[in-house]
Amino acid sequence: AAEKAEIEPKEQVTTQDHAMWKVRISEMLSVGRHPQRTRSTSGGSREGRGFDEPRIEVSDQAQNDGTEAASRNNHPSQTFLLYSLCQRWAWPAVTFRCSTHPHEAQSNIVDGKGDTVLHWACFGKPPLEAVEALLRACSELSSTANKQGQLPLHVAASYRASTQVVEALLEAYPQAAGEATNSGSMPLHLMCDYGASLESMRAVLATEWGAQTVHKPDRTYQRSPLRILSTRRNMIETQSALTKLRRLRCRQLELRQEGVAEQSEAIQELEAQVLPFRKLDYWRKAALLLQVEYTENPLQEGTEETRQVIHACAGVSKCPSTLLEMAILLYPEQLVEQDRNGQVPLHIAVATPGIRSMIEILEASPREALWSRDTNGLLPVQQAVSVGRRWGNGVGALLVANPAALETMDVCDGLYPRILSKLYIKGRNNAVFEAVRAKPSLFIQHPP
């Protein structure tokens, strides 16, 4: 009791001291008195509840620790100047106050919704210096969630904080990249939904916890980050880009079919019109998510998000069809590009569950891709058979596209009549001819 009596006078902040410090800091750092800023309710959250101005109270633990002598109904900003400065986003004053009164940054000093000083700071796009000052004063702030289950990183993701701030929060508590709010949203979901920067997403995906959330759906809408980005957030922009790209590629094809040498310059001009679409912000974010989901590893520093992006689309079983089509339209040369395993996108597609992506890649692939062999010496159709696909699940489509591949397959001679009949039923006029030409020995009569 004697020790507590000695501590309390030093820690307790009176109303007179509070007013004095406000005046002094305002004079020293030119922080004017302006109306209290509150969290906006017009935009609303993903759950439609918005961020309302809370009834603010001081936690019991703060009172028991001797850091606050007022009752629970008092606003923390009425007792702690640092809390008031964070609510007013007075960043120079916040940094200064953290250095002189670090005890005011304790993680147990919260309002009625459980928001700490760091939560309030992240609502206002804080500078890196202010966030670092708060974390130096109390590193536990980064791992303290409010009553909605939101860590400061969730708030920073929702309010598009700078990449430097996101990196600072991750450095203090990297596990935050894999934690969900009470509504089931993880930082990556919020970044895709609220338009965080590409570099901020890179910072989250570079952690092992963030990389593990790239395929997980949120609890409210059951949408993965990739689905949120491609269909909910940028649906109109995606359809507009696809329409323009289809026209450009169709015109290029028409010029190539004409076979006039003078058309090469026109083809190059059309290719130059494609380049701006490769730099679309949402497309680069989607390609980044695809790369991480395909490799199932944290993002490596310096990784180019669009490198072999069609391979990534082929390897992600739930890749949105719009993104796969955009990847093919933007980078058609990747359809014949081999990865480190010697596989073209068609190899990867036939080994991935589902048939939609495989058919789309097959229809876009040139003949060179159909005859491409991986490091094991397998053609795409051989790869399909080796992974257990059947005629109606992709093998038939591959053989119709490349009937001559029958020559390379270990097929019982007795099955050829049935295979040829199926090729005929598919409706391709020269498919049967090509299949017969691939193995004419079937029709040679051997002497008894």
The pTM for the full model equals: 0.77
Which has more confidence, 394 or 114? 114
Which pLDDT score is estimated for 61? 42
Torsion angles phi and psi, residue 106, rounded to 5: -60, 145
Q: How confident is the model at residue 397 (pLDDT cuts 50, 70, 90)?
A: confident
Distances 106 to 33, 43, 144, 308 between C-alpha atoms, Å:
24, 30, 10, 47
Which pLDDT score is estimated for 11? 42
Average pLDDT over residues 278-303: 92
What's the CA gap between 280 and 59, in Å, rounded? Answer: 46
**Vertex 328: Cα angle to 262 and 271 (nearest 5):** 30
Residue 428 pLDDT > 70, yes or no?
no
Average pLDDT over residues 307-315: 94
- Kindly report, residue by residue over 34-80, the tens digit of the pLDDT: 444 444 433 344 443 333 333 333 344 443 443 433 333 456 756 78
Which has more confidence, 220 or 428? 220
Q: How confident is the model at residue 273 (pLDDT cuts 50, 70, 90)?
A: very high
Which pLDDT score is estimated for 420? 60
**Start-to-end Cα distance in the chain:** 112
Average pLDDT, the chain: 80
Which has more confidence, 326 or 233? 326
The shares of helix, strand and coil residues in the chain, as percent rounded to the nearest 5, are 60, 0, 40
- The residue type found at 166 is V
Average pLDDT over residues 404-433: 60
Write a three-state SS string for 166-185: HHHHHHHCHHHHHCCCCCCC
**Vertex 19: Cα angle to 15 and 25 (nearest 5):** 140
Q: How confident is the model at residue 386 (pLDDT cuts 50, 70, 90)?
A: confident
Which pLDDT score is estimated for 265? 85
- Kindly report, residue by residue over 76-109, the tens digit of the pLDDT: 756 789 999 999 999 999 999 999 999 999 999 9
What's the CA gap between 228 and 189, in Å, rounded? Answer: 7
Q: Taking every pair of C-alpha atoms in the chain, what is the biggest distance, in angstroms?
A: 116
- Kindly report, residue by residue over 235-249, the tens digit of the pLDDT: 888 899 999 999 999
Q: At 129, which helix (H) or strand (E)?
A: helix 128-137
Q: How confident is the model at residue 331 (pLDDT cuts 50, 70, 90)?
A: very high
Evaluated on CA atoms 327, 331, 334, 336, the torsion sign reads: positive
Residue 155 pLDDT > 90, yes or no?
yes
Residue 330 pLDDT > 60, yes or no?
yes
Helix pair angle (431-438, 416-426), 10° resolution: 150
Q: How confident is the model at residue 402 (pLDDT cuts 50, 70, 90)?
A: confident
Which has more confidence, 193 or 3? 193
Q: How confident is the model at residue 23 (pLDDT cuts 50, 70, 90)?
A: low
Which pLDDT score is estimated for 358? 93
Which pLDDT score is estimated for 206? 95
Which pLDDT score is estimated for 47? 41
Q: Which of 355, 357, 271, 353 is nearest to 311 (CA)?
A: 357
Which has more confidence, 18 or 302? 302
Q: Write the DSSP string, 299-320.
A: PPTT--TTTTHHHHHHH-TT--
Average pLDDT over residues 391-415: 74
